Copies of this chain bind each other. A is one copy, B any other.
Amino acid sequence: MTGRGPVLGTRRSGSPSARRRLSPSARRSELLEAAIRVLRRLGPDASRVEDITREAGTAKGNFYRYFPTWGDLLLAVRDSLLDSYQAALIERYRGPGPIDWWAALEAEIERFVDFQVELGGLHEVLFHDRASSGRPVEANRSARSTVALFLAAGIADGAFAPVDADVVAPLLFDVLHGAADTVQAGVDRDRVLAAVRLIVERTLDPAGAESMPPHEARSGD
């Protein structure tokens, strides 16, 4: 037992499928897109390397030319999706005029929930760290940081209450995250969106600071 590939380089079958030679970047893209389709359909736990190469119309071994390991693929998928989401978000608000932060907030909530619902099995690829074993967890934050960026800008602009954005933003992100779960569990989308808006908008209401819940009024905490 030595470990050298196939024992006899046999080649004899008919013509299973013509060999498609692509540029590395094209092939990588095809694999990545195939992976996104498969992961959306099956989720990361049920997806296999071979599912992806089959979907991509290439040989199993080719996978490893582009993704040294399964975790690398997951990372690539995640980064790819988050990057494009983030790019689109930035694109939406980079005009010259001032931003109507509250309108934007409402629109983005809706968009993000819908985005997640469409994610299907990709959900946990993007939002749970199933890939990086020991790798910088930082990366995982980038979904959250997209939201954080938005809030921080709104706060800086004076539109939102001056909350501790670095911590509050991720938590509001979790609300959006949970909203997608809830919708997928069958609850009416608009009802969920209304609840999300309630939470987010009350939290960010600049006037909110003044009103004080009974508890704090009492103890002066």
Contact = CB atoms under 8 A, between A and B. Distances in A.
A70 to B, nearest CB: 5
Contact of A215 (B2, B7, B105): B105
A179 B177 CA distance: 13
A94 B191 CA distance: 32
A68 B102 contact: no
Contacts of A218: 102
User: Chain A contact residues: over half helix, strand or loop, or mixed?
Assistant: helix
A45 B1 contact: yes
Contacts of A191: 164, 167
A105 B214 CA distance: 12
A99 interface: no
Interface residues of A, number: 66
A198 B163 contact: yes
Given A177-B178, A203-B203, A208-B211, 16 more contacts: A102-B213, A163-B198, A164-B191, A167-B191, A167-B192, A168-B199, A171-B178, A171-B195, A174-B174, A174-B175, A174-B179, A174-B181, A175-B175, A202-B203, A202-B208, A211-B211
The 8 A-B residue pairs whose C-beta atoms are closest, nearest first, are: A174-B178, A102-B215, A167-B195, A202-B202, A174-B174, A201-B213, A205-B213, A207-B211
Interface of A: 1-4, 7, 9, 44-49, 68-70, 102-103, 105-106, 124, 128, 130, 137-138, 140-141, 159, 163-164, 167-168, 170-175, 177-179, 181-182, 185, 187, 191-192, 194-196, 198-199, 201-208, 210-211, 213-216, 218
